[in-house]
Structure 1
Amino acid sequence: METNSNKVALVTGANTGVGFQIAKALAEGGYTVYIGARNLEKGKAAADKIGGNSKTIQLDITDSSSISSAVQHIESEAGYLSLLVNNAAISNAGQPGRTMEEVLGAQRASVAPIDEMKTVWETNVFGTLAVTQAFLGLLRKAPAARIVTVSSALGSLTMNSNPDNPYRSAFDAVYGASKTALNGVFLSLANELEGSSIKVNMVSPGFTATALNNFQGTDTVEEGSAEPIRVALSENLPNGIFTGPADYSGADQIVPW
């Protein structure tokens, strides 16, 4: 049986924000943690801060050659993967420096530039699935493995179709709907892998102040990382569930699809 000292995790987009906090918690929990970062130097700086058995790996989830190199690197060093945390995401592909309100206004379904929409979905949906597909072989080599994907309650169709939800106006066609698509893809994967040695879970960090929202979120990165860290460290959660901060849903922290 694996112990934490020989469990191997990869966290994408782990050099900052929620991903950094997840990687730090896993390292403190005894995992060997690969810090996935598009910029290798930023990844190395994060690994230096985390310490423990943390390692840096260059990984751009929209680049197939980068993904292949990362798989080969982890396979040669570790031979398997116990946990894949899909955290890397972007919120927009437009002009930088805009407020969250300006971004949301430009990403309404009636006006959203299709090329910008494709760019965001390329990372949040297609890139995330591409990484997952590429690492399935190494996940299958572990005695038991998990895939934890950081999504958003903003992608919940149930919540956004409720007129009483005060946040439904933030459900845009670019970022919000990309999380809806992500949820659907990974629920499909959870159904496919049901009964196998791999569990699939989705988790929402809540409205966390990160670069995704121009640091305008209401929760600190430490607060927003609490539920993703809980899910990343929990090995007995049922396959195929979507959870979020307790104030989202009450019992069991379940977020409705």
Structure 2
Amino acid sequence: MTSTTALVTGANKGIGKEIARQLVSAGFTVYLGSRDAARGRAAAEEIGGDCHLVELDVTDEKSIAAAAASIASLDVLINNAGVLVDSDTGPDASLSSFRATYETNVFGVVAVTNAFLPALRRSPAPRIVNISSGTASLGASTDEAVRASATGAPAVLSPGAVSYRSSKAALNMITALYAQALPGFRVNAMAPGLRATDLNGRARSLGDDPAEAAEGAVRLARLDDDGPTGTFVSWDLSVMPW
């Protein structure tokens, strides 16, 4: 594996920041994408080493274009930026919640990925990692055995967060189709598990260490040329049901 440069979106905090930290420790030059320049700069300075702020709002075309113009070549793109606008069920969720969620979690990923494809194509070993969610699994969400199990993840058993979960399911399909369209790449989606981040209150109170999830993303970023592509895996790289 010869990849040496990586861009991580939404990396001024949480899992993204831990991914950036671990990539720097692994010897990568890391571009830390952050919508908020001040917070991004503070995170890059805290990480240190070869970590550099790139102002990047994944919902803004001009911001994406400026970021892409500033990075001539790239080996790894990690689409980490994501939002959970509300936890409503389908009948209760508003169209505005769907639009805001998809703008970041789906359209933002497509826009950023497409903008950086020219830079990635200059790499001998391009990698794309899309941070998804275990709650996006159609298999787990519709499996009565899982739903009836006392050990099943509460977020999977609940009908809530429909805009978030469906956006991540869409991201999984995007991952599979981009992997097919980009045979020289390794394109995979990863579910990080419930982590102690600012994504929602439950995650902050019950989640595990974001660094553990970051390890899985870094492993996907460093896949060998014969590594898997078009997969949906958990943070430990075990296969997730679509």
TM-score by shorter chain over 0.5: yes
Displacement of 1:3 in angstroms is: 4.3
Per-residue Cα deviation, 1:33-59 (whole angstroms, up to 9, x for no partner): 000000111111111111111100000
Give the counterpart letter for 1:228 in structure 2: A
Displacement of 1:171 in angstroms is: 5.0
Within 2, Cα distance between the matches of 1:170 and 1:234? Answer: 35
Displacement of 1:74 in angstroms is: 1.0
Aligned residue number for residue 85 of structure 1: 78
Give the counterpart letter for 1:212 in structure 2: L
Within 2, Cα distance between the matches of 1:170 and 1:29? Answer: 39
**Coordinate RMSD, CA, aligned:** 1.6
Give the counterpart letter for 2:75 in structure 1: S
Aligned residue number for residue 243 of structure 1: 233
What SS class does the counterpart of residue 205 from structure 2 fall into? coil
Aligned residue number for residue 67 of structure 1: 64
Within 1, Cα distance between the matches of 2:137 and 2:210? Answer: 22
* TM alignment of 1:1-257, pairs within 5 A: 3=2, 7-75=4-72, 80-92=73-85, 103-104=86-87, 107-165=88-146, 166=152, 167-169=156-158, 172-194=161-183, 197-214=184-201, 215-236=204-225, 237-246=227-236, 253-257=238-242
What SS class does the counterpart of residue 19 from structure 2 fall into? helix
Q: Percent identity?
A: 39
Within 1, Cα distance between the matches of 2:232 and 2:206? Answer: 21
Displacement of 1:226 in angstroms is: 3.0
Displacement of 1:67 in angstroms is: 0.2
Within 2, Cα distance between the matches of 1:154 and 1:229? Answer: 21
What SS class does the counterpart of residue 136 from structure 1 fall into? helix
Displacement of 1:168 in angstroms is: 2.3
Within 1, Cα distance between the matches of 2:112 and 2:206? Answer: 28
Q: Kindly indicate whether the alpha-carbon contact (under 8 Å) linking 1:15 and 1:35 is maintained by their aligned counterparts in 2.
A: yes
What SS class does the counterpart of residue 174 from structure 1 fall into? helix
Displacement of 1:145 in angstroms is: 0.5
Within 2, Cα distance between the matches of 1:243 and 1:191? Answer: 17
Which deviates further from its counterpart, 173-182 or 161-170? 161-170
Q: Kindly indicate whether the alpha-carbon contact (under 8 Å) linking 2:22 and 2:215 is maintained by their aligned counterparts in 1.
A: no
Within 2, Cα distance between the matches of 1:231 and 1:132? Answer: 16
Give the counterpart letter for 2:76 in structure 1: L
Displacement of 1:170 in angstroms is: 5.1
| TM, length-normalised to structure 2 | 0.90
Aligned residue number for residue 97 of structure 1: none
Give ranges in structure 1 of 5+ residues lacking alignment: 93-102, 247-251
Within 2, Cα distance between the matches of 1:68 and 1:217? Answer: 37
Within 1, Cα distance between the matches of 2:212 and 2:185? Answer: 28
Within 1, Cα distance between the matches of 2:159 and 2:120? Answer: 35
Per-residue Cα deviation, 1:199-239 (whole angstroms, up to 9, x for no partner): 10111111112111221343122233332232223335211
